Amino acid sequence: MGKVSCIMKRVKSAVLLIAAAGLLSGQNGGGCAGGPEVAPPPPPPIPVSHWGDNYFYNYEPPKKLPPASIKATVIVVNPFYKDAESSLIDPIYAQVGKGFSKSMGVDLDKIIIAKGMTSVGPYPTLDDVTYPDKKNADITLAPRVFLTTNTKYDKWEYVYYSDNEGKKVYSERKFEMKLGGWVAYEMREPLSGEKMWVKKLEMEGSVIKGWEIYEAIPVYETRYGGQYNNIPYQHLVRYDQGKMAYNGRTDAVADALKDYYPVIMEKAWTYLDTDEILNLKGKTKEIRELKRY
């Protein structure tokens, strides 16, 4: 019974240490005679983004017509995503918005070419389009992207992670985010910028989950007139949140947009009908005659 009791004591000690997430002193006690102590597993490394700051999306058109077989020239502009109330203006989503817009511009260019029309661009913004290209083009395609996020957080938890400095306490909180928004496919007369055609795709709200991790800065309590430094017990110290170590919200939005992306581009393929664009080409001519361009 003595040997069994010792084993049970070691197992119980290990379970308690794991449950406390290392926030106690981390000392394993005196151990048991007759066998090694059961040490808790090492803490995991801090998570890193699987995107690696490279927010790239891709779409391949389902079929291709011969190049320039349709007599229409379309200027392609990367989607505008910086509306004042859009979540994409938040600095933590800046690289996501930029990568999404650039990717969509590239793929819209591919769609125009695959449909047998001539594409010019893609340009970063409408202001970047040159006058000669405006004069020689029939249509400008300049979409807009608008995103909304509504985030709810769980309470803070304090856990160990390993980093370059070894084992450290970090503040972690889980979140649940509801995401929505829309994409507007807009066609404009190139010289005047007059809006000629708009079709809109609503991005139905989806719910995504994740977590954020911050540095935990220990703040020791003062008791009996003295400063208790290096006290291992949790009830003698609280933690303030320092700088962010892992931002799960950025990854969550990037992942959600990746799921939406095929739908967004398939709608673009459907909406960019060559017969309709040829009809708009005639209206462009009428606008220019009226405005005497």
Amino acid at position 286, single letter: E
Report pLDDT for 239: 82
Query: pLDDT band at 80, cuts 50/70/90?
Result: very high
The maximal CA–CA distance of the chain, rounded, in angstroms, is 102
Q: Considering the entire predicted model, what is its pTM?
A: 0.80
How far apart (Å, rounded) are the C-alpha atoms in residues 225 and 277? Answer: 80
Report pLDDT for 8: 30
How far apart (Å, rounded) are the C-alpha atoms in residues 35 and 3? Answer: 9
**Mean pLDDT in residue range 46-72:** 94
Lowest mean pLDDT among 5-14, 112-121, 184-193: 5-14
Report pLDDT for 49: 93
Q: Cα separations (Å) of 38 from 24, 96, 101?
A: 16, 45, 53
Phi first, then psi, for residue 101 (nearest 5°) are -60, -45
How far apart (Å, rounded) are the C-alpha atoms in residues 240 and 170? Answer: 10
Q: Tens of pLDDT along 259-283?
A: 999 999 999 999 999 999 999 999 9
Whether 21 has a pLDDT exceeding 70, the answer reads: no
Report pLDDT for 230: 55
Residue 214 and residue 170 in contact, taking contact as beta carbons nearer than 8 Å = yes
**Mean pLDDT in residue range 162-186:** 93
How far apart (Å, rounded) are the C-alpha atoms in residues 282 and 262? Answer: 31
Mean pLDDT, the chain, rounded, equals 85
Q: Tens of pLDDT along 181-195?
A: 999 999 999 999 999
Q: Please report which residue ranges of 33-93 form alpha helices under DSSP H.
A: none
Phi first, then psi, for residue 194 (nearest 5°) are -65, 130
Count CB neighbours of 255 within 10 A. 17
Residue 278 and residue 240 in contact, taking contact as beta carbons nearer than 8 Å = no
Report pLDDT for 16: 29
Token readout for 51 is 């995107």
- Out of 1.20.120.1810, 3.40.50.150, 3.30.2350.10, 3.30.160.180, the CATH code matching 73-291 is 3.30.160.180
Query: pLDDT band at 222, cuts 50/70/90?
Result: low
Whether 32 has a pLDDT exceeding 60, the answer reads: no
> Is the pLDDT higher at 293 or at 161?
161
Q: Cα separations (Å) of 71 from 43, 112, 278, 289?
A: 63, 12, 8, 20
How far apart (Å, rounded) are the C-alpha atoms in residues 27 and 244? Answer: 28
- What are the domain boundaries of the chain? 1-41, 73-291
Count CB neighbours of 140 within 10 A. 27
Count CB neighbours of 155 within 10 A. 6
